Structure 1
Amino acid sequence: MNPNLLKQLAIIVKQGSLSRASEQLFVTQPTLSRSVQQLEAKVGAPLLKRTRYGVAPTEIGARLAQIGERILADSEHGEEVIRQWHSGYHSEFAIGIDPLWEFAAFREMTANFLSESRYVFHFRTGSAAAQIRLMQEEKLDFLLAPAHLSVAQGTLDRELLFRDRSGIFAGRRSKLAGAGKPIPRDVLEQQSWMIAGASAGFLDGQGELAGPSAARIAFTGSIRSVLHLLDTSDMLVRLPARLALMTGEIAPEQLIETEGQQGPRRDIALWSRSENGERPEILRVRELVSDFVTRLDREAPTFGLEL
């Protein structure tokens, strides 16, 4: 089967219109129609159906369009690999990072990896649970994420590098911000809560201090919205305390003290696949990442947290 026909089908499905797809592909609409007809002749069934808004794929059309999307992505990646080779780069590495880690350490992180001239780095931000799956599917080489996760970890290796602890933060408009004394549990239960890291795979429960009332809003893979609400509302949220304060977006007095023990640990670990442990280039990049995160752990403030 001609892969170009599948690529064209994928673009038609994405655009929902033969005319818009022909504009993107720089071909005439009759040419594109003939490409679809060739595929339909091979399949023996229609691939597209007309709707009031344009065209939509049939069941078999959608399946073939998904293959076409993968071909498109691989083609674009192939072109980028060629550009990398001509530019003198040896290898490309995909590294997953926690959204809060990216926000708290992006200046130091980008400066560190841009100084390494031999490799190309692709950073992917998302929830830990989703990124663990990507590692197991061999779509990531490394992952910087919480060290303790409730998701299946298979044969992944873990190296603890950055110390942190979970803490409760109050929005700037909350009467609890800057209270200067431990807050009783019954007072915490009366507050308005939100959840950060919903469905992210963390072991520490986020609702045990919130009481029986459900949180009104939850975020997965997003930190900007959480920081905005902490700046403009009276809502409470549990976050990795050290990383949250390192963003500079949250005032130290918004970290409230609660009665009882401090929050559970939320250390950051470097995750990798066990089978890649002996590859020289993997070992070199693991060392680069490990040295950077360890140095950041040593040099970043601890904000009075017991770490």
Structure 2
Amino acid sequence: MNPNLLKQLAIVVKQGSLSRACEQLYITQPTLTRSIQQLEMRVGAPVLIRTRYGVQPTEIGARLAQIGERILAETEQGEEVIRQFHSGYHNEFVIGIDPLWEFATVEQMTAYFMQEKRYVFHFRTGSAAAQIELLQKGELDFLLAPAHLTVKQGALDRQLLFRDRSGVFVGKKSALRGRDTVISQEILEKQHWIAAGANAGFLDRPSEIIGLKAASMAFTGSIRSVLHLLNTSDVLVRLPARLSLMTGAVEIDQLIKVPGPKGPRRDIALWSRVDNLERPECMKVHELIRGFMQILDDTVSTFELDL
């Protein structure tokens, strides 16, 4: 089967319209129609049906379109590999990073890794819970994520390299902002709490402070919404304190004192597969990332947190 037919079908299904697919493919509609007809002759059944809202795939059409999507992705990746080869790069490494880590360190990370001329770095942002599975499957080479994840670690190497601790932040419109004394549990229970990082390694819910009080909203994956709310409302949220302050999106007087012990540790570790560390190129990149994280830990302010 001609893979181009599957690629064209994938684009038609994604666009939901033959005319829009033609615009993307830079071909005429009669040409695309002939391609679809060739595919249907090969299948022996329709792959598309017309509706009042455009075209939709049949069951077999949807399955073939998924294959076409993969072919498109592999083709694009192949083109990028060729460009990397002609640019003199030896290899590409995929590094998973936590959303808060990305937001807090993007300038330092970019400056550091742009100096490296041997490798291409693909940074993939997402929740630690999802990315640790990708690391275990071999779809990531390295992962920068919370050090204290509840996962099977038999085949994984973990090196704790960046120190942090959880803290409670209040929105800039909160009456609690700037208070220098411990806020009582009774007052905390009356506040608008949100949860950040649910299922992402930073499982920072207020339950250890205010018991059965429920957070009214939870955010997973993105940190920007949480930081926006801290700038525009009176919400309270637990976050990794050092990384949050590094973003510059929150201020030190938004970090309040709460009853009980210090906030739980939220250290960042460099995770990798043990078998990957047997490869010389992986070892070089591992040391490169390790060096960056150690420099960051040594040079970035601790904001007087007890680390």
> TM-score scaled to structure 2, two decimals?
0.96
**For residue 301 of structure 1, what is the aligned residue in structure 2?**
301
Output the CA distance in 2 between the equivalents of 1:243 and 1:139: 26
CA contact (8 A) 1:95 1:143 kept: yes
Encode CA deviations 1:170-209: one digit per residue, 9 max, x unaligned. Answer: 1111111111011122221211011111221446655333
**For residue 6 of structure 2, what is the aligned residue in structure 1?**
6
CA contact (8 A) 1:94 1:122 kept: yes
**For residue 29 of structure 1, what is the aligned residue in structure 2?**
29
Task: Summarize the alignment of residues 149-228 of structure 1 with structure 2, pairs less than 5 Å apart.
Answer: 149-153=149-153, 155-202=155-202, 205-228=205-228
What code does the residue aligned with 1:91 have? N
Report % sequence identity.
Answer: 69
- Compare 193-202 and 72-81 and name the one that shifted more: 193-202
CA contact (8 A) 2:18 2:29 kept: yes
After superposition, the CA RMSD in angstroms is 1.5
Output the CA distance in 2 between the equivalents of 1:208 and 1:92: 42
Output the CA distance in 2 between the equivalents of 1:85 and 1:238: 45
Question: How far 1:154 sits from its partner (Å)?
Answer: 5.8
Output the CA distance in 1 between the equivalents of 2:215 and 2:55: 41
**For residue 148 of structure 1, what is the aligned residue in structure 2?**
148
**For residue 111 of structure 2, what is the aligned residue in structure 1?**
111
- Compare 49-58 and 164-173 and name the one that shifted more: 49-58
What code does the residue aligned with 1:84 have? Q
Task: Summarize the alignment of residues 122-137 of structure 1 with structure 2, pairs less than 5 Å apart.
Answer: 122-137=122-137
Encode CA deviations 1:2-50: one digit per residue, 9 max, x unaligned. Answer: 2111111110011101111112111121221222222222222221111
Output the CA distance in 2 between the equivalents of 1:35 and 1:211: 63
What code does the residue aligned with 1:283 have? M
Q: How many residue pairs are counted as aligned between the two chains?
A: 307
- Compare 74-83 and 146-155 and name the one that shifted more: 146-155
Name the CA shift for 1:267/1:286 in 2 (closer, same or farther; >3 Å): same
Output the CA distance in 2 between the equivalents of 1:56 and 1:206: 46
Task: Summarize the alignment of residues 35-74 of structure 1 with structure 2, pairs less than 5 Å apart.
Answer: 35-74=35-74
- Compare 77-86 and 208-217 and name the one that shifted more: 208-217
Question: How far 1:166 sits from its partner (Å)?
Answer: 0.6
CA contact (8 A) 2:89 2:117 kept: yes
CA contact (8 A) 2:146 2:201 kept: no
CA contact (8 A) 1:191 1:235 kept: yes
Encode CA deviations 1:71-90: one digit per residue, 9 max, x unaligned. Answer: 11110011011011001111
Name the CA shift for 1:55/1:232 in 2 (closer, same or farther; >3 Å): same
Encode CA deviations 1:229-274: one digit per residue, 9 max, x unaligned. Answer: 1011110001000000111111101111111111100000011112
Partner SS for 2:178 = coil
Partner SS for 2:76 = helix
What code does the residue aligned with 1:106 have? V
Output the CA distance in 1 between the equivalents of 2:11 and 2:214: 42
Output the CA distance in 2 between the equivalents of 1:154 and 1:73: 32
Name the CA shift for 1:39/1:207 in 2 (closer, same or farther; >3 Å): farther
Partner SS for 1:209 = helix
CA contact (8 A) 1:162 1:269 kept: yes
CA contact (8 A) 1:190 1:210 kept: no
Task: Summarize the alignment of residues 283-298 of structure 1 with structure 2, pairs less than 5 Å apart.
Answer: 283-298=283-298
CA contact (8 A) 1:161 1:290 kept: yes
> TM-score scaled to structure 1, two decimals?
0.96
Name the CA shift for 1:99/1:85 in 2 (closer, same or farther; >3 Å): same
Q: Which runs of 4+ in 1 moved over 6 A?
A: none
**For residue 256 of structure 2, what is the aligned residue in structure 1?**
256
Encode CA deviations 1:141-188: one digit per residue, 9 max, x unaligned. Answer: 111111112345562221111000011101111111111011122221
- Compare 193-202 and 249-258 and name the one that shifted more: 193-202
Name the CA shift for 1:306/1:15 in 2 (closer, same or farther; >3 Å): same
Output the CA distance in 2 between the equivalents of 1:50 and 1:43: 18
Question: How far 1:96 sits from its partner (Å)?
Answer: 1.0
- Compare 127-136 and 12-21 and name the one that shifted more: 127-136
What code does the residue aligned with 1:294 have? Q
Structure 1: gaps (5+ residues)? none
Partner SS for 2:209 = coil
Encode CA deviations 1:120-150: one digit per residue, 9 max, x unaligned. Answer: 1111111111211222232211111111123
Partner SS for 2:208 = coil
